[in-house]
Amino acid sequence: MAVQKLYPRGTVKRIVKAHSNRSVSKNADILIFLDYMLFMQELMREASIRSRKSGEKNISANTVRKVTEVRFEVDLRASLEDS
């Protein structure tokens, strides 16, 4: 395994900081990126399932977009549930 950084920590921190207008504590970006990885896992899983179902061989951009839509719907619903 190549000794390569998994992700640029500063960038993630800056992204979150820009969107939230709050500072991020020292190691919270690890967890944020962990969450992002889980999100990506789910996204790719759903995309591959959907692409298989529609008979495509590779994951197309359209599939990803559709999955993204659903994902946001679900997220919205979840936040509505929790609130």
Partner 1 sequence: MSTSTPNARGRRSPFVTATPSGDTTLTGLQRLPSHTRYPLTPSRLVTAATPGTQRSASRYTPRARGVGAPATPYGLRARQQRAANTPGRDRRRSGRMQRETTFDILRNLGRALAPISQPIRSSPQEKPAPIEEPIDEFEQLDNEPEIERPRLSLPIQESEEEGEEASPEMPPPRMSLAFAEEDMDITYQSVEYPRDTSIRDRDRLSMMSRATGRISGDFDETRLESDDADETGIVGEDDEAEDTMISGGDFDRGGETEDLGRFHFDLNFPSPAAPPLEDPTGGDMNDMDDFELSTAEQPPAPSDDDDDDGVGGDFGFGLDFPPAASPSQSPGIVGGGLRDEAIPAQGKQKKISRHGIPVPNLPAGVVKKLATRFARSGAGSKAKINKATLAAIEQASSWYFEQASQDLAAYSKHAGRKTIDESDVITLLRRQRHINNSTTVFSLAQKHLPKELQQDMRLAMPP
Interface with partner 1 by CB under 8 A: which residues?
6-8, 11-12, 14-28, 30-32, 34-49, 52-53, 58-79, 81-82
56 three-state secondary structure = coil
Q: How far does CA 58 lie from the centroid of its chain?
A: 19
Q: Is 55 left (phi over 0), alpha (psi -120 to 50) or beta?
A: left
